[in-house]
Amino acid sequence: MTEVHCPICNRRIGWETAAPYRVHPDGRAELLEREEGETEVDWRTRLITGYRPCGEVGRPGTHLLPYDYADYTPITIGMVGHSRAGKTHLLATMIARLCSNEPVLGRLGLAVGPLDLRVHQRYVADHITPLMQDRRQLRGTPANASVEFCDALKVTNRVTGRSFALTFFDLAGERLERPDDDEVRFYANAAALVFVVDPESIPRRSERRSERRTAADASFDVALRRLGARDRPRRAKSFHPVAAAVVVAKADLVRFDDRLVSDWLALSSAEEEVELGTVERESEDVYAYLTQRGATQWLRPAQECGRSTLHFASATNGPASEGRFPEAFRQCRVLKPLLAVFAMTGILDERLLLPAVTPAA
């Protein structure tokens, strides 16, 4: 087994020797011990809902990872973007779609299920259900929340037979902008980062070039700076060893400003979303769009990360009113960035990203 690191604090874990624990409803961790006469099946059944600590239980800052976390290839995906960029809504819709068991996902050979049931059920209750079922606008992520993965999924590629332990991080923008937040450590092991571009923050087309404010998203700067600490492969010394998906979220807000955006948003069928051959063309269009808007600062992740794709997406297809989304509420192209990340991180065959023969439009 390769080294196992805690996805939250990056602490190296002696996985095989880490004792299993169960977590009580009040959060207390209790050592899980095999009972006398307990069958192997029963013991395994109990273990599957257990956890292994990344350090000494009882010490501050020790995290509990699903018991079988290291049985699969760990993939950590972090959302990056300033406050109200749209990270939380985007991720909630991404995971909702991913976990929807849509038949089209079968085409890619993906099987998705919760890795940490506790975490997943909470995420569904706090994010997916309110947004997808109740169409309620989600609360902004508090910057004082514990730095932890918000959901953990097990994704299996039936084609390759490999399973992956996915952990998602969705921290508050305020926190991601802090240059020296010692608790934010997922950058060290993140396989992919989803850089969320807030279209309301980038210069408007109508603005003259000289009037354009070019203050970049500080969270992008912090993320790229933190990635600089990681070892880079010799072959690509100038690139960060991470997959980056740059997503112009809330694209519905700018769909009428630019035909390019509306055209891509129009292509939001489930079949199109799983067709990764269009990613390259879309990336080119997004790159062009941001460049034309003078938002080149937002392109840094695409320029500096080893693998990158660019996307337009809308998690809600329109703004909320009084905290709720109107009838037009639907998701546009939210799955594609995630599937692109899958392809860039080896969950899916990377060759799926090769341009499709058929043009998207």
Angle between helices 335-345 and 87-98 (to 10 degrees): 80
**Whole-angstrom Cα distance, residue 120 to residue 114?**
6
| Cβ count within 10 A of residue 140 | 13
Closer by beta carbon to other proteins, 177 or else 273: 177
293-332 positions binding other proteins, by CB under 8 A: 319-324
252 contributes a contact to other proteins by CB under 8 A: no
116 contributes a contact to other proteins by CB under 8 A: yes
Helix (H) or strand (E) holding 176: helix 173-177
Among 83, 129, 156, 303, binds other proteins (CB under 8 A): 83
| DSSP letter, residue 191 | S
Among 68, 102, 174, 350, binds other proteins (CB under 8 A): 174
Which segment (117-125, 240-248, 267-275, 300-308) binds other proteins by CB under 8 A? 117-125
Contacts of residue 56, defined as CB under 8 A and 6 or more positions apart, other chains included, come to: 62
23-62 positions binding other proteins, by CB under 8 A: 25-29, 53, 57-62
173 contributes a contact to other proteins by CB under 8 A: yes
Among residues 337, 330, 361, 195, which one has the least CA distance to residue 276?
A: 337
Contact criterion met (CB below 8 Å) for 56 and 171: no
Which segment (42-50, 63-71, 186-194, 204-212) binds other proteins by CB under 8 A? 63-71
Helix (H) or strand (E) holding 284: helix 279-292
Coil vs helix vs strand at 347: coil
205-234 positions binding other proteins, by CB under 8 A: 218
Among 34, 44, 107, 139, binds other proteins (CB under 8 A): 139
The binding site for other proteins (CB under 8 A) comprises: 8, 25-29, 53, 57-65, 82-84, 116, 118-119, 122, 137-140, 142-146, 148-149, 172-174, 177, 218, 319-324
